[in-house]
Amino acid sequence: MDPRYRIADTREILTPALVVFRELVQANLEQMISIAGRAARLRPHCKTHKIPQITRMELAGGIAKHKCATFAEAEMLAQCGVGDILLSYNLVGPNIARAVEFLRKYPQSGLMVQADHGEPISALGAAMHAAGLSIGVLLDLDVGQHRTGVPVGPQARALYQMLATTPGIRAGGLHVYDGHQHQKSREERAAAVNREWQPVVAFRDALIAEGWPVPRVVCGGTGSFPIYAEKTDPAIELSPGTCVFHDAGYTEHFPDLVFTPAAVLLTRVISRPASDRVTLDLGYKAVASDPPAGKRLVFPDLPDAEQVLQNEEHLVLRTQRAGEFQPGDELYALPWHICPSTALHQQVYVISEGKVVDRWDVVARDRRLTI
Ligand SMILES: Cc1ncc(COP(=O)(O)O)c(C=O)c1O
């Protein structure tokens, strides 16, 4: 077993469990800050952990700016005392009124949001103005992922003008997320990121020349933030998420990044239904099922294991070593995709120096805290 994941006494751990290794999280945070150059350049995304104690570790490391995707995450951040929150999601429907309620309840949170369409901008501006409030809104630019955002061009310019002139709204800058850049080669990834960056800078400079403020450009995720970090543009804010926990998927995708999976799943054998099969208590209610079946986990101590069947609470492995296992035996597994896996667990066990020292609630897994 990898000594970094050794736990002296596992008897109190209910499986399947997500166990978080505190020193590894700390090391990942320090690595993230070191790549950024300074904590002040970072705006990490909390969707990966959704945990107040980890937010506080980030705050203790000097990271003051934070990013999230849901109001529950934003509320978790505000309750930790974060004073600069970007809710990086397009607000529609009841979320417009929620933004007003949020700013009333957490006036120190500095809540900002993003938009890519005129109607929500008008609705948000009207709601804020009527409440005697204003909110920073970033224009979401589509640099190739084609998930949300508008491409650089006249439509983007018109929307930015709207952000700069609508009562109740403050133009907050640009949002540039590029989750499509998954090139394994660092050189190829850097070339792709740099290609998408040129028009963004030209666009930003043109907006400023028109007299509109562009205070920040929020860029990148785990794979691309090291490339943006090499640029000296003072408006850049780096927004990785996954690397705080890291996972097997990103270890495979981004071999140049030295982060260590810090949140792993502990599972127990519940049956050995055939001479070449071991069944674990690790169904897809405990690990993200967005990777295809058979690829959701990596078992470092059982490299020949094939994941042949997964149900809600069962995972069947085929392995030549099945005969070595008895019911109750433990294995640890690295999730391929940690962020949605975390959200499946109400609590995580916290390991420090090989011992279970705490349990932390995954507070922001809920869709609503109070607002
Ligand atoms: C808008 C946005 N920003 C930042 C991130 C963080 O990226 P990563 O998980 O690659 O670190 C994500 C991830 O989904 C995202 O959607």
- Which protein residue has the closest C-alpha to ligand 1 atom 12? 221
Q: How many residues does the chain have?
A: 371
pLDDT at 355: 98
Cis, bond preceding 16 (omega within 30 deg of 0): yes
Q: 261 in ligand 1 pocket by Cβ < 6 Å?
A: no
Which ligand 1 atom sits nearest the alpha carbon of residue 225?
Answer: 11
Q: Given ligand 1 and candidates 42, 242, 243, 338, which is best to mutate, with the most ligand atoms within 8 Å of its CB? A: 242
CB of 70 sitting under 6 A from ligand 1: no
Residues 310-350: tens digit of each pLDDT: 999 999 999 999 999 999 999 999 999 999 999 999 999 99
One of 3.30.450.20, 3.90.76.10, 3.40.50.300, 3.20.20.10 is the CATH number of 22-244, namely 3.20.20.10
How far, in Å, is the centroid of ligand 1 from the Cα of 218?
11
Distance from the CA of 309 to the center of ligand 1, in angstroms? Answer: 30
Model pTM score: 0.97
- Candidates 91, 169, 88; CA nearest to 130 is 169
Decide: 308 and 294 in contact? Cβ < 8 Å: yes
What is residue 266's three-state secondary structure?
strand
149 Cβ inside 6 Å of ligand 1: no
Long-range pairs of 206-210 with CB within 8 A, sequence gap ≥ 24 = 206/157, 207/157, 207/160, 210/161
Q: Is 44 in the pocket of ligand 1 (CB under 6 A)?
A: no
Percentage of residues in the chain with pLDDT exceeding 90?
A: 99
pLDDT band at 235 (very low <50, low <70, confident <90, very high): very high
pLDDT band at residue 1, thresholds of 50, 70 and 90?
A: confident
Task: List, in sequence order, every residue forming a beta bridge with 174; answer none if it has no partner.
Answer: 139, 217
The CB of 240 under 6 Å from ligand 1? The reply is yes
Q: How far is the CA of 275 from the centre of ligand 1 (A)?
A: 42
Distance 18 CA to ligand 1 centre (A): 21
Which segments within 221-346 are labelled E, that is strand? 236-238, 263-274, 277-280, 297-298, 306-310, 315-318, 330-335
Q: Helix crossing, 118-130 with 154-165: angle to 10°?
A: 0
Mean pLDDT in residue range 13-39: 98
Tell me the average pLDDT across 65-84. 98
The average pLDDT across 209-221 equals: 98
Report the pLDDT value the prediction gives residue 167, as an integer from 0 to 100: 98
pLDDT at 24: 98
**Residue 39 confidence (pLDDT):** 98
C-beta 88 within 6 A of ligand 1: yes
Q: Per-residue pLDDT tens for 118-166?
A: 999 999 999 999 999 999 999 999 999 999 999 999 999 999 999 999 9
Mean pLDDT of the chain: 98
Q: Which atom of ligand 1 sits closest to the CA of residue 48?
A: 9
Is the per-residue pLDDT at 247 higher than 90?
Answer: yes
Res 208: pLDDT: 98
Residue nearest to atom 5 of ligand 1 (CA): 221
Long-range contacts of 52-56 (CB under 8 A, 24+ apart): 52/76, 52/79, 52/80, 52/360, 52/361, 52/363, 53/350, 53/358, 53/360, 54/25, 54/244, 54/360, 55/80, 55/82, 56/80
Radius of gyration of the chain (CA): 22
Domain boundary assignment for the chain: 3-17+258-365, 22-244
Asked whether the predicted pLDDT for residue 56 surpasses 90, the reply is yes
Give 162-178 pLDDT, tens digit per residue: 999 999 999 999 999 99
Structure tokens that stand for 292 in this block? 């295809």
Grouping H, G, I as helix, E, B as strand and the rest as coil, residue 18 is strand
The model's pLDDT over 177-197, given as tens digits with 9 standing for 90+, comes to 999 999 999 999 999 999 999
The CATH number assigned to the domain with range 3-17+258-365 reads 2.40.37.20
How many other β-carbons are positioned within 10 Å of the β-carbon of residue 371? 17
Binned at pLDDT 50, 70 and 90, residue 226 comes out as very high
Quote the pLDDT of residue 237: 98
